Copies of this chain bind each other. A is one copy, B any other.
Amino acid sequence: MVEAGKHFSARASTLRSSKVRELLKWIGKDVISLGGGVPDPASFPMEEIKRIILDVIEDKGAAALQYAPTEGLDELRREIASFMTKRGVKAGEENVLVTSGSQEALELIARVFIDLGDPVVSENPTYLGAIQAFSVYEPRMVGIPMDEEGVRVDVLQKELRRFGGEGERVKLAYLIPTCQNPTGRTASLERRKVVLELAEEHDFLVVEDDPYSYFYLDGVEPPSLKSMDGGGRVIYVSTVSKILAPGLRLGWVVADEEIIEKLAIAKQSVTLQSPTLSMYVLLEALRRGLVERQLPRLKEIYRVRRDTMLEALEAYMPEGVRWTRPSGGMFVWVEAPERVDMDALLPVALREYKVAYVPGSSFHVDGGGRNTARLSFSYPPLDAIREGVARLARLIAEHAAPRACVLEA
């Protein structure tokens, strides 16, 4: 038999598997998973979606199963543009590309913008699906730390000046300004303004990844970068995975027409088009106001889940463990004491403590974060959230004690 391995491309040999996805495979029935960001299926408006699917099949017939344009159905692009306009983003049909989930959007953006060695800045930690998509095109990822007000624009500015001083230019900034994945943090209005000013000054584009602002939990969400974007520098990415249903595999990009056209050409050779039936379902869900009606429901569901996790952390975590208080999204970010290696502890957590999490190093662009973890509150029942956090607390407590030092000879 052939050894396939020796035929792989250099790229393939370095392809990193997502630890989140691998996790899903290891999990037995007795393990509580605080791993993947899987939405609560109780949030899916099943009866209304069922009604819509029936109507689509009845009204559209064969068209619902036929080829459709690479850019997405014209009517759907218009509906998405109007959905965005209601949220302060000026967009027409020509500014919208429908994608196969936001993952494909990130792949296409990477393909269209990143050359080998291009500096790309992001929050650190950041969404691992973006790290995976970008890394295929071999940029230099530069991580910018965050605090309670979001990305540290002072550090960003310093990095931009450093690159400028070396005659180089940052190509893209990849940011999740609202309810960031993995930290749940939200950038303040002031920070948002500075990011856009820096983009003008240093001539880079901003990819705004925005899956979570639609069910922001702490009052009125700050405006999207795209809604503040006077210079056409923001490429906005979102998805129906968290606000309607992930199995439809639909996301969208809003950007200048020239960018949308180039992304569409790239999409021809990746998936040709997004699933037609799903597109008609989303079209009707938008037309009937179903997506809008979903948002208050989502807020209710995820507020209770978030608060349950935060209370459990408060109740169970040992001294020396810190965590974020997310303004929405699906995740809490946990920092254990420096000497606790959450990567190394994962198999122990699964086997002995029967709890799963995603090691925080997966979200780092600089190899750091081995004492961190991302916990998801989106999927387990509330009791399981409490018990999962309790188990994790025991794991950390029992591995955080300083070890006896052996003096090397």
In-complex Cβ contact of A258 among B5, B54, B69 (8 A): B5
Q: Is A231's beta carbon under 8 Å from chain B?
A: yes
Known: A9-B115, A62-B46. A269 touches B133 (CB 8 A): yes
Complexed CA–CA distance, A88 and B270 (Å): 30
Residue of B nearest to A20 (CB): B268
Residue of B nearest to A258 (CB): B4
Complexed CA–CA distance, A273 and B129 (Å): 12
Interface-located stretch among A105-113, A341-349, A400-408: A105-113
Q: Is A277's beta carbon under 8 Å from chain B?
A: yes
The size of the chain A interface, using a CB distance under 8 A, is 86
Complexed CA–CA distance, A273 and B11 (Å): 20
Complexed CA–CA distance, A62 and B247 (Å): 9
B246 touches A129 (CB 8 A): no
A interface with B by C-beta (< 8 Å): 1-2, 4-5, 7-12, 15-18, 21, 24, 36, 38-39, 41-42, 44, 46, 49-50, 53-54, 57, 61-70, 100-101, 103-104, 106-107, 111-115, 118, 129, 132-133, 136-137, 171, 203-205, 231-233, 241, 245-249, 255-256, 258-259, 262, 265-266, 268-278
Cβ–Cβ < 8 Å partners of A136 in chain B:
111, 269
Q: Which 6 A-B pairs have CB atoms at the shortest separation, nearest pair first?
A: A247-B276, A41-B62, A65-B245, A132-B269, A65-B247, A249-B275
Known: A113-B8, A247-B277, A276-B249. A67 touches B36 (CB 8 A): yes
Known: A115-B9, A245-B66. A107 touches B268 (CB 8 A): no
A171 touches B7 (CB 8 A): yes
Complexed CA–CA distance, A276 and B205 (Å): 33
A1 touches B271 (CB 8 A): no
Residue of B nearest to A67 (CB): B246
Cβ–Cβ < 8 Å partners of A273 in chain B:
101, 249
